[in-house]
Structure 1
Amino acid sequence: MSGTQLALGVRLRDDARWANFHGGRNATAAGMVRNACGDPAHPLVVLCGDEDTGKSHLLQAACHEYEQRGQSAVCFSLAELEPLGPDALSGVEVMDLVALDDVHRVLGKPAWEEALFHLYNRARDLGHQVMLTLNDTPVRQSFVLPDLRSRFQEGLLVQLGTYRDDDRITILRLRAEQRGLVLSDEVAGFILRRSSRRLGALLAILDQLDENSLQAQRRLTIPFIKSVMGW
């Protein structure tokens, strides 16, 4: 694998680990992904769900798992690879785990589908694993290559559901607790009412509050949040 490809690999977030995935309704799905890590019975794992379901977190957690075992792993975002063309996937099968995020972006494009098909076959022949994310199940995707559709449908399918508000509040509180912050249900509900409900946006707000709380108490209050966020 070339240095250019390594540079394009997603830099793994240190907090994107199993222990930090407070899945709510997706806890069972997370367990399926973790159990499949390195399992030769599952050369392909397909994670399906909307944008805000934690798919990328689970991909990165799987990469961390491999690295902790002393094995190689790489995670690519198709949003970054797409402008470079399908040749960007050449040779990546040498990694023990190849994780591909947002693969639906290139489905329906013959050259990309051909590259994905051959990448998977080469990785499987080497005894390596491919994990990928889609915004919907393979049966609902538009393929031009029937063989690729067949491969995707044979993979271990892990379906993630959209978080409910109580899931988001639980995740916010647990992530705050890990940072040594005290976040009550009342304050978490206030944040949810005033911000985007996307989990990524909520956690970004928590990052901002964490930085500012170093100069204040570690208990997050509504007046403090109003002052930091300008609400």
Structure 2
Amino acid sequence: MNQSQVPLPLNNKDPFLFGDFIGNEEVVDALSRFEQLPQFTYLWGVEYSGKSHLMSALNGLLESAEVNFLILDANMIADEHLVNHLPAQIKFLLINDIDTVASDSVGEVALFNLYNYCLAHHCKLVVSSSISPRSDQWMLPDLQSRLNSGLVLSLEMLKGDQALKCIEHQFAMNGIPLESAVVKYLKTTQNTSYSYLYQLFMRLSAETLKLKKKLTVPLVKKALQDYQDSM
């Protein structure tokens, strides 16, 4: 790490909870009632839409309910014989970021096999993805058919007041109180889509840590100007 790099004060200790999730209420409600989920659920949304938060919250809920489950990242399923090594009697299988195997013949076959395994063993399968189940990036017709066969939950990107509220919560979680003047400044001068605000949060968190100063409107203006000057 060079001297200009500063580790971000990101708090990874607090568990992700459904109650902390802002927006997309119908999606949150469906996942939080996990007992009523169908055999297959496809959760998708663009980057920064909250997929990881919701999958982690579902993980925690299943754990607290003492449900036998397994969670995998898609890069772990490239082995088409993985189904032969799954624990017996699991009730839920959660797979993050399945879009990473889209257009990969081996990965798609492995995912197809996992779907069929879960169906045959009465195990509910919940996956997350940054692409739609109808995307033409899915090359295997039989797999695409199965990806569209269950409950599809689509996440809408936050914007406006909801996005600002979410960012304010993230600053608070990382020990950086956000004054109302800063929130007002961001609301009236900046793009309030969540994807933009999240990147701004990363920059401002680093700046606050580096300077060891409270986050104020002048500091926000300086950080934005420095960023624009570096472009």
TM-score after normalising by structure 1: 0.71
Of residues 165, 176, 183, the one that matches 1:188 is: 183
1:30-109 equivalences in 2 (<5 Å) = 30-35=28-33, 37-39=34-36, 42-78=38-74, 80-81=75-76, 85-87=79-81, 91-92=85-86, 94=88, 95-109=90-104
Aligned residues: 211
Deviation string, structure 1 residues 29-51 (Cα, Å, up to 9, x no partner) = 2222222x133x51111012111
Question: Which residue of structure 1 lines up, in the alignment, with residue 20 of structure 2?
Answer: 20
Question: Which residue of structure 1 lines up, in the alignment, with residue 4 of structure 2?
Answer: none
CA distance in 1, matches of 2:205, 2:71: 24
The amino acid that maps onto 1:134 is S
The amino acid that maps onto 2:17 is R
Deviation string, structure 1 residues 189-228 (Cα, Å, up to 9, x no partner) = 5568499944653554576588689x777xx433466789
1:145-184 equivalences in 2 (<5 Å) = 145-177=140-172, 182-184=177-179
CA spacing shift, 1:190–1:86, aligned 2, 3 Å: farther
CA distance in 2, matches of 1:18, 1:207: 24
Deviation at 1:150? Answer: 1.7
Answer yes or no: is the 8 Å Cα contact 1:172–1:202 preserved in 2: no
Who wins on radius of gyration, i.e. which is larger? 2
Deviation at 1:187? Answer: 0.9
The amino acid that maps onto 1:137 is S
Residue ranges of structure 1 left out of the alignment (5+ in a row): 1-11
Residue ranges of structure 2 left out of the alignment (5+ in a row): 1-11, 227-231
Answer yes or no: is the 8 Å Cα contact 1:176–1:206 preserved in 2: no
Answer yes or no: is the 8 Å Cα contact 2:167–2:198 preserved in 1: no
The amino acid that maps onto 1:44 is F
Of residues 199, 217, 221, the one that matches 1:201 is: 199
Answer yes or no: is the 8 Å Cα contact 2:16–2:53 preserved in 1: yes
The amino acid that maps onto 2:27 is A
Is the counterpart of residue 222 in structure 1 residue 217 in structure 2? Answer: yes
Deviation at 1:64? Answer: 0.6
Answer yes or no: is the 8 Å Cα contact 1:101–1:132 preserved in 2: yes
CA spacing shift, 1:145–1:227, aligned 2, 3 Å: closer
Answer yes or no: is the 8 Å Cα contact 1:113–1:145 preserved in 2: yes
CA spacing shift, 1:110–1:182, aligned 2, 3 Å: closer
Is the counterpart of residue 124 in structure 1 residue 119 in structure 2? Answer: yes
Answer yes or no: is the 8 Å Cα contact 2:82–2:110 preserved in 1: no
TM-score after normalising by structure 2: 0.71
